[in-house]
Amino acid sequence: MGSLIAYLYWITRSPSPPHETETNAVDAEPVRCCRCSYSSQPLSLPSPLLPSPPLPPLLSPSRSLRRPPRAPPILPPSREIHSQLIASGFGSNVFAMTAVVNMYAKCRRIEEARRMFDRMPERDLVAWNAIVAGYAQNGMAERALEMVIRLQKDGRKPDSVTLVSALPACANVGSLKIGKTVHAFAMKAGFDSLVNVSTALVDMYSKCKRIDLAEEVFENMPVKSLVSWNAMILGYAQNDRVEDALRLFNKMQRETVMPDSFTMVSVIPVLADISVLKQAKWIHGFAIRLCLDKNIFVMTALVDLYAKCGSVRVARRLFDAMEERHVTTWNAMIDGYGTNGFGKSAIDLFEQMKRSSVKPNDITFLSVLSACGHSGLVQEGKKYFAGMKEDYGLEPNMDHYGCMVDLLGRAGRLHEAWDFIQKMPISPGISVYGAMLGACKIHKNVKLGEEAAQRLFELEPDEGGYHVLLANIYAAASMWEDVARVRTMMEKKGLQKTPGYSSIDLKNEMHTFYSGSTDHPQSQKIYTRLARLIDEIKAVGYVPDGDSLHDVEEDVKEQLLGTHSEKLAIAFGLINTTPGTSLQIRKNLRVCNDCHEATKFISQVTGREIIVRDMQRFHHFKNGQCSCGDYW
């Protein structure tokens, strides 16, 4: 029987319960607590079963790094074990039955776990905790919380293990209210000073988007574990508090808390969001010092980071040096090639991936399709889109359809794109019509542009950007009355265009410029340099592109072409760096035609390499040319 119990323990401790692959650092703690409840069973785990750190959710734009799909659950011969238990007379043993509940829950058979739980003649708190954790780990947060209430009605008091299971459940249903109740209970019971409970609170508040409350709990923790630091850093990262995430990361080191792979995979995507090469190199060096340069998740995050900093070659070197690669590693590299305009390399790598033992997933296809889109590889894109379902049994989702419309539309095949939309088996969403509208703007198609815009106005009535796009389409066709009509419509609805801005990093400080902004301390110098620059590039053939004038609202007429934010950022960069230094600029919207043209000339006259990362992709400007080949 001992071996059976050992087996049950083994199964319930196995590393890939369905939802634990989704958990972050915080959820690692309940495991330790559970372990305490089993302390009477001195068992050591076979080492390959020790959980490897899961990739925590990463910061938004990193599509290629989205979490891998869930691994199929381990299905043990559970019925057999269960019948054996009954046959051996252990059917009423609380400990054995709790282990069975645990086992079923870990194998994603939560309903069976519940049946076992209901059949137990008596239940102790460990059994209750098993079912609460079971529901929580199977994504059934509401039922987990329901069980916490029932447990109390049963006359029992939740302990810290219950709370640590219940808190992520609150976070998953986004129930701040219940989360706060649990917090209040924890305080009353004195559990809030326990490091695992407060860490779970930090995590819960972060996921409920109350980073202020998470901060408060974190700051007041009498003792912080590495897991607590990680939870807070990840919380900042997930709530787009980039600077705070980095500040805390630095503070952590000042307090000599040694970061681990969890910390690194939370921080690296934050840096990827800022995409400053110098910082990428620094954190890479740091990873090496921490001996994490063989860690597949850390290395994958670094591949993604270098690609996002525009250093595709370095990313590829790291990729090639990796002994083992996860599907997210391949995705990061393929996406890196795609967004940097190396469509052919993206395809080559994808072909190599198909020959490897790693199976492409839906994110891989998204990266491949968008790479084809960025490089105008229409035939290849169509082939891969078809192959997705035919060869890999993957059902395309809205993002894939959006990519296809973008691919066809950008290439000027507007009618084919429109037909494609009409034939979609799912109801087309914003990404699909958005791609269509964008393509109509590029190719100046008023009729289809109007159709797409109409759908978008219905789907997302509060988004001003689509109105601006439609107005631009009318403007390009000199349909001024329609331009005025759209503008009036925007005013009536109180809609505004997202203001464009560009940022550039100088000596670890981020400088942000809005179109026409004059509030920078060096403003005067910047405008003088810019005026000279425009003269210089005009002398070698630059002609301002009047079309882009309509990107600007009537009421901000002074913010004309010449003072678009990226031009200000470039001028600032030129003034403050030594000749030959490459400039890295981030733009929140798509780069306009005029700025794109002007930047090409600027790279020529100044001999500088200028890398602009816009909303959709990278542009590497060098010697008067852009890596996108003017296809973006």
Residues near Zn ion (CB under 5 A) are 564, 592, 595, 619, 626, 628
* Min dist. Cβ of residue 594 to Zn ion (A): 5
* Min dist. Cβ of residue 375 to Zn ion (A): 12
List the beta bridge partners of residue 625. 622
Residue 612 main-chain phi, psi, to 5 deg: -110, 120
Q: In this structure, are residues 274 and 508 in contact, taking their beta carbons and an 8 Å threshold?
A: no
Helices 362-375 & 378-392 angle (0-180, nearest 10):
170
The Cα-based distances of 591 to 9, 342, 598, 614, 618 in angstroms read: 57, 18, 11, 6, 10
Closest CB to Zn ion among 246 and 592? 592
Closest CB to Zn ion among 10 and 631? 631
Kindly report the length of the chain: 632
DSSP secondary structure string, 562-595? GG-HHHHHHHHHHHHS-TT--EEEEESSPPPHHH
Closest CB to Zn ion among 169 and 595? 595
What single-letter amino acid sits at 370?
Answer: S
Closest CB to Zn ion among 208 and 592? 592
Tokens 């990404």 appear where?
431
Q: In this structure, are residues 619 and 573 in contact, taking their beta carbons and an 8 Å threshold?
A: no
Closest CB to Zn ion among 183 and 529? 529
Outline where 20-106 has alpha helix (H): 28-37, 78-87, 94-106
CA 558 to chain centre: 37
* Min dist. Cβ of residue 352 to Zn ion (A): 27
Q: Kindly report the number of other CB atoms within 10 A of residue 606's CB atom.
A: 18
Q: In this structure, are residues 189 and 224 in contact, taking their beta carbons and an 8 Å threshold?
A: no
Q: In this structure, are residues 230 and 266 in contact, taking their beta carbons and an 8 Å threshold?
A: yes
* Min dist. Cβ of residue 177 to Zn ion (A): 46
* 610-613: strand order across its sheet: 509-514, 501-506, 583-587, 610-613, 618-622, 625-626
Closest CB to Zn ion among 209 and 344? 344
- Give me 17's structure tokens: 């319960």
* Min dist. Cβ of residue 443 to Zn ion (A): 17
Q: Rounded to whole angstroms, how far apart are CA atoms 553 and 542?
A: 24
Closest CB to Zn ion among 17 and 336? 336
* Min dist. Cβ of residue 314 to Zn ion (A): 21
Closest CB to Zn ion among 455 and 587? 587
Exposure class string for 343-353: b at 16+ Cβ within 10 A, else e: bebbbebbeeb
What single-letter amino acid sits at 56?
Answer: P
Closest CB to Zn ion among 96 and 595? 595
Q: In this structure, are residues 421 and 414 in contact, taking their beta carbons and an 8 Å threshold?
A: no
Closest CB to Zn ion among 349 and 628? 628
* Min dist. Cβ of residue 285 to Zn ion (A): 31
Q: Rounded to whole angstroms, how far apart are CA atoms 393 and 387?
A: 9
CA 307 to chain centre: 15
* Min dist. Cβ of residue 565 to Zn ion (A): 8
Closest CB to Zn ion among 213 and 585? 585
Closest CB to Zn ion among 137 and 559? 559
* Min dist. Cβ of residue 596 to Zn ion (A): 5
Q: In this structure, are residues 68 and 91 in contact, taking their beta carbons and an 8 Å threshold?
A: no
Q: In this structure, are residues 163 and 186 in contact, taking their beta carbons and an 8 Å threshold?
A: yes
Closest CB to Zn ion among 300 and 311? 311
* Min dist. Cβ of residue 575 to Zn ion (A): 20
* Min dist. Cβ of residue 446 to Zn ion (A): 23
* Min dist. Cβ of residue 106 to Zn ion (A): 50
* Min dist. Cβ of residue 273 to Zn ion (A): 21
Rounded to 5°, the CA angle 424-430-435 comes to: 80
Compute the CA torsion angle 172, 174, 176, 182 (nearest 10 deg). -20
Query: For residue 66, what are the contacts with CB-CB under 8 A and spacing of at least 6?
Result: 58, 328, 331, 363
Report, in this order, helix, strand and coil percent for the chain, each rounded to 5: 65, 5, 30
